[in-house]
Structure 1
């Protein structure tokens, strides 16, 4: 047997020695190539296992115990009151204790021994026996289990038992009731699998379920399946008399269509549908209403109306708070931070993102795959400020968390962020691999136009970095930069066009494009893009030996960049920028605003050849993961000189918990002692 087959067999038998022996007997004489198939199929219904368990275990139990075992075999986990609900008895807990003491294949699932489960092979046997001897009882038993789980607030188990028992109407009602929670936690696979288990007729007859399924398909990138579901929902509404509930469903449909229009880049239609949804939705349909400001925020951002965009996302947050939905709140904050980051307000964006991280941690939602893009947002700011190692850790971890959240939009966002990070690290192979992942997503799903445009832009940037000018020019001819799409896409494309012309030596053409975009960005107060445009102008002018104008452009770019900690925008321009900074330091006086910043950037160029990119980050450092409110409280007590025991007494927690908080603080602050942690905290203005 291979090592993997041995591991799988141990998993199947859960270390049961007799089970391993029976498996070995069954393997005698089998050809080696069939071993893996045997291990995968090995279960309690295998004849050796079946004979052993029936003769040596099941048949030796009193009739009452046998009945208990068979009835409760439908359960994946057992507790006393649940067993009573299924069997109709009153001694479930006592029976479970007796079974455990008798070593009757009962495994405790917690230290309190409240929850148990049967050994896998024993459960296989019991279920096979139940199906053979009492097939008609199973629906009733599953219904009883569904009742108990629903009363206990364990919706997932309730739905599973309703489906297993064939009660599709009840399962559909439960799925409708809890679909928002599933979407919030990013459990798209669960929701889709449940709905697939229902007859189509049951789904089609429930407009609310059709809409929930449409949202799940949208987040999973299966947008082609959305409109038929919305049409079915609308058709069902037409069969009934007009009512407030019917208007609310129609408002839901318009919200869904507004989101799809936003996804397709049709902002005019999206805004029209959002306005109509606003008139139809019930005032207390907070979750559905949150789609309206989301649509508006995306549209305003695309047009460079950054303050209006931020205000729209603030309204989304307010509606999320009214609904008590952490996902809506977090997405609203994330999108607001994205707006501010694009605008050039990096520190405000980081503050918003760190607050969102802290909120998600306090709400127990930090592990949600649907919220992993908040960490991607933090990594984007860190990358701009040249904290490359910290950014890499965050975006890599986010991709791992996103595996449970199958949204192609968030995955593409993360891969684009990773590509830009690897580009900053001059790892062309890794950058190309990340872009290929983004390509795979956009070629199989409809994605936001900005993400698709960014993918093309970074393919072009990568081609330029490697000297592939023909490839870059091919993008220019194919895309015709600046001819379509919202302002932020057109400007990003035109800045890239200027880079292509610079690389080709066509400096006049490059400057014409940059001057035009300088005017656009000044008009809409787009500082983030203006910093890059001025930096590129300085490079082009310097190459044309117009040193005075080059230094003037660089001076203004540095003045705008310093308060927010922009660094990559300068470091990525290489030796030409280094020489410009050197000239600037000779020309400018030490009292001028950008002098110290120019000095720091100049040193970073020298350090980059011998140090990791992380070590060249601006002194105004930031935390990769923010401290929780309790950790900040502990930090203040450390600053007051309290010992771990005194902290524990003050906060009414155990010394072990206090030590854990101190360890977390040191880890997050990258500190090796209390003294170091306090110094780092003061550096970061946490104290």
Structure 2
């Protein structure tokens, strides 16, 4: 059927199954047949291109949608449009529609055409949406307007907060226009004071007398006389919907008759609605009332709901008659009623020969289900009181919404079910999964015991498959809850019980986790998150080896959940420096993660595999692997996900290691802008940290701190390292704490604070020995390895700074590092002899001393009373003589050669 959209459910590895958004929600409603060009308002709307935000606030019927839609067409400006409904209170769904609307307004590249214009089914935040937008629009600078229609339906405080910060950080050529019946529920004072807010309200939207005349003539073909014009102006008060009703009311009156209109708006609307509605044929009345329950409709759906004769083009005919119908697409296939008219029609449901409203909703539910629109099918089933049907559909399709983490929508549906239905074991199970995905573990954990009791009471001997599946689900979700809550002993006991089983249910018994539900919460590496027991790799190894035994025993090699187990194990093995085994597991996880579209496995596995290759001196392969991952995500528009940041952070680390300072600097600028200045646009205002350091972003923060070190910004690096340490200790994340300690040790050393540096390294070694870390020390920096080598050499002296750290552990790190090959011994020669004819000049030594103190190029120039260009020239000469690619390497080389030994006393 023309204009019909099929709602599919998919994963990134299976592009043909990607979810299809409702195109009608992304299409600006068509202009009405009797459009009046309102030039004064078009001129006012043109100010939207000079402001970050334009608000159009007025009650229903004042022509907000028509005004903005017709202005966009006349202005010929690029725009994206989203017609919101209550379903967009789900944060993921809201931002998915926003991203798709913006994407549709931009030029389409050959790559996009080739790969299809798909949006990720995975969670992404306002930060990611904005970063994507800026990346796609930053070059052209061509004005773009995003319109959010019916924003009053959004009640989510998270979305309000997201949108406020997002708008604040938009580049100058991107503008947002919000249409609402209520005031916008986030602060606007700052934008109003800066002149970046444009506001239109009811007083400006009212029709003037001139516009009333123009509209009347278009509708009736003749100009109203003065008396009628005064009557219309007084009775309608410029209200567009009232004016339309006046035409309908008077068009059927006898010549010469004029029924005066008076009273408050509500009374006038009631009167005019009765007048317009009363003139219609009974079958038209019945059609309108029956279909008023629909938020959007086409002829096929209307015929199903009204159970009427098959009569094509009903809706276009009603639109031409002026009955408050709004076309939602250019083909005029999908429509909706004006909100005011729909409210009136619904008030007529008990009359006018309409069937029972629950019957109408039931018919709508059946049509939507048959055509693949499951969200609307469930909504109408709930409205019809068909709770059993709604529950069945929820159970059958839950994996689709869980995979996309549309948890707000799911919880709203579950809350609407009566207790006797919602209390069924399968729906309790669904609620537990939903609450876990929504981060509401404290609600989910207590439900497990009740679920087990329900299972024991459930008698379904004739439904063996369902009962068997349910037992599997309970065992799995119990295990997941144990891991999520940090109950390692219980989690290990449960996974070992799985391994002891001799048989599994048949393949057709499909549990929810087999559908590719995203388990990783956005943490890289995987063992830094909950399923890695927050860096407790001893626990993680025991759990995932037991898990692997269960998978291997039962031949479960080709399932999404296997990808999670393989990547977690690969990271454990890599940290233990078992590189060959880590390589095999990571390679398997990369393949499974991409095949089944679970980015929470694919991205960490790509990073781990790159680490293994790098450690094996296969740097070119490692770099190509990460770049391929970035290309894959971009090709599928998965760069709108939070996972894209992880891969770009890994790429930045590789570039730093290769000495490509500019690439690392570019990534650092992007991350700084995104995290501190409003999601991607550098601001002239004082930076304010908006992206807190936490488990979901600490990998990026660690990378950012490392780039600050490479750029010589020691003070800022130290500040963020301290924040990272506080956050990791507060959350109990041992791996993040370890890396924070190692960074701190290096920063304090570069600041010539040896006592603090030793203390940080000592704390890191104590933590590392307790948990069994190896590669973290080797990968962090040459400085760390050098210090540990020094400890190993002085082991006989029993250095008190490292009390509690066994010599065996220190030797194990040195052995893993193969230190003789990578750490040169400090020369016994004098600094001058070390350089021979290329020895540093006195001025270069002075520059080196200031650089080691953390001064910027500008500060060095000021201290030496030279130009900044001269200071840079000295620095480049120093880098060349020390064979260094930047500040950090130069300082390390100078320390090894003793060039800074006399600088502290200066």
CA distance in 1, matches of 2:672, 2:576: 31
Counterparts of residues 229-244 of structure 1 (less than 5 Å): 229-239=447-457
Contact residue 179 and residue 212 of structure 1 kept, 8 A: yes
- Residue 388 of structure 1 is matched in structure 2 by 664
Counterparts of residues 621-632 of structure 1 (less than 5 Å): none
What is the deviation of 1:286? Answer: 1.7
CA distance in 1, matches of 2:793, 2:854: 17
Instruction: Find out whether 1:356 has 2:629 as its counterpart.
Output: yes
Match of 1:56 among 272, 288, 308: 272
Match of 1:9 among 43, 53, 57: 57
- Residue 262 of structure 1 is matched in structure 2 by 532
1:5–1:159 distance in 2 versus 1, CA, 3 Å: same
CA distance in 1, matches of 2:354, 2:694: 43
What is the deviation of 1:60? Answer: 0.7
What is the deviation of 1:358? Answer: 3.5
Using structure 2 for the length normalisation, give the TM-score. Answer: 0.47
- Residue 476 of structure 2 is matched in structure 1 by 252
- Residue 483 of structure 1 is matched in structure 2 by 769
Contact residue 321 and residue 329 of structure 1 kept, 8 A: yes
Measured against aligned partners, the alpha-carbon deviations of 1:122-175 in whole angstroms (never above 9, x if no partner) come to 555555666999999444444333333333333333344444545444444434
Counterparts of residues 151-550 of structure 1 (less than 5 Å): 151-198=370-417, 202=421, 205-207=424-426, 214=432, 216-218=434-436, 220-225=438-443, 227-239=445-457, 245=469, 248-249=472-473, 252-253=476-477, 256=480, 257=483, 260=530, 262-264=532-534, 265=536, 266-271=539-544, 273-275=546-548, 277-278=550-551, 283=556, 286-320=559-593, 323=596, 329=602, 332-337=605-610, 340=613, 346-369=619-642, 373-385=646-658, 386=661, 387-392=663-668, 395=671, 409-426=695-712, 442=728, 449-458=734-743, 475=760, 480-488=766-774, 491=777, 498=784, 520=812, 523-524=815-816, 534=822, 541=826
Contact residue 146 and residue 158 of structure 1 kept, 8 A: yes
What is the deviation of 1:282? Answer: 8.5
What is the deviation of 1:328? Answer: 5.2
CA distance in 2, matches of 1:204, 1:280: 35
- Residue 590 of structure 1 is matched in structure 2 by none
Q: How many residues align?
A: 543
Measured against aligned partners, the alpha-carbon deviations of 1:413-436 in whole angstroms (never above 9, x if no partner) come to 344444444454455676577668
CA distance in 2, matches of 1:516, 1:308: 24
Q: Secondary structure at the match of 2:629?
A: helix
What is the deviation of 1:14? Answer: 4.9
CA distance in 1, matches of 2:562, 2:696: 22
Contact residue 324 and residue 341 of structure 2 kept, 8 A: yes
- Residue 894 of structure 2 is matched in structure 1 by none
Q: Secondary structure at the match of 2:303?
A: helix
CA distance in 2, matches of 1:392, 1:180: 37
Contact residue 777 and residue 785 of structure 2 kept, 8 A: no
- Residue 304 of structure 2 is matched in structure 1 by 85
Q: Secondary structure at the match of 1:117?
A: strand
Contact residue 418 and residue 434 of structure 1 kept, 8 A: no
- Residue 652 of structure 1 is matched in structure 2 by none
CA distance in 2, matches of 1:52, 1:584: 82
Q: Which protein, 1 or 2, shows the higher relative CO under an 8 Å CA cutoff with sep ≥ 6?
A: 2
Measured against aligned partners, the alpha-carbon deviations of 1:537-586 in whole angstroms (never above 9, x if no partner) come to 76xx36x86879999xxxxxxxxxxxxxxxxxxx99989xx999989977
CA distance in 2, matches of 1:452, 1:234: 38
What is the deviation of 1:9? Answer: 0.6
CA distance in 2, matches of 1:133, 1:425: 76
Q: Which runs of 5+ in 1 are unaligned?
A: 20-35, 552-570, 588-597, 607-687
CA distance in 1, matches of 2:412, 2:617: 42
What is the deviation of 1:484? Answer: 1.9
CA distance in 1, matches of 2:888, 2:750: 23
CA distance in 2, matches of 1:355, 1:89: 56
Q: Secondary structure at the match of 1:388?
A: helix
1:79–1:247 distance in 2 versus 1, CA, 3 Å: same
Using structure 1 for the length normalisation, give the TM-score. Answer: 0.59
1:141–1:425 distance in 2 versus 1, CA, 3 Å: farther
Contact residue 499 and residue 510 of structure 1 kept, 8 A: no
What is the deviation of 1:95? Answer: 3.0
CA distance in 2, matches of 1:87, 1:506: 85
- Residue 678 of structure 1 is matched in structure 2 by none
Contact residue 250 and residue 280 of structure 1 kept, 8 A: no
Counterparts of residues 113-128 of structure 1 (less than 5 Å): 113-123=332-342
Contact residue 693 and residue 723 of structure 2 kept, 8 A: no
CA distance in 2, matches of 1:97, 1:437: 61
Contact residue 185 and residue 368 of structure 1 kept, 8 A: no
- Residue 316 of structure 2 is matched in structure 1 by 97
Contact residue 310 and residue 339 of structure 1 kept, 8 A: yes
CA distance in 2, matches of 1:52, 1:184: 49
CA distance in 1, matches of 2:743, 2:421: 46
Contact residue 313 and residue 332 of structure 1 kept, 8 A: yes
Q: Secondary structure at the match of 2:336?
A: strand
Measured against aligned partners, the alpha-carbon deviations of 1:189-238 in whole angstroms (never above 9, x if no partner) come to 4445544555676556335x656655555555544455445555555554
What is the deviation of 1:473? Answer: 6.4
1:39–1:318 distance in 2 versus 1, CA, 3 Å: closer
CA distance in 1, matches of 2:738, 2:590: 28
CA distance in 2, matches of 1:145, 1:344: 62
CA distance in 2, matches of 1:89, 1:572: 84
CA distance in 1, matches of 2:418, 2:616: 49
Q: Secondary structure at the match of 1:484?
A: helix
1:153–1:214 distance in 2 versus 1, CA, 3 Å: same
Q: Secondary structure at the match of 1:7?
A: strand
Greater shift in the superposed pair: 78-87 or 471-480: 471-480
CA distance in 1, matches of 2:726, 2:376: 35
Contact residue 220 and residue 408 of structure 1 kept, 8 A: no
Measured against aligned partners, the alpha-carbon deviations of 1:633-684 in whole angstroms (never above 9, x if no partner) come to xxxxxxxxxxxxxxxxxxxxxxxxxxxxxxxxxxxxxxxxxxxxxxxxxxxx
The structure with the largest helix share of the pair is 1
- Residue 366 of structure 2 is matched in structure 1 by 147
Highest Rg: 1 or 2?
2
1:489–1:75 distance in 2 versus 1, CA, 3 Å: farther
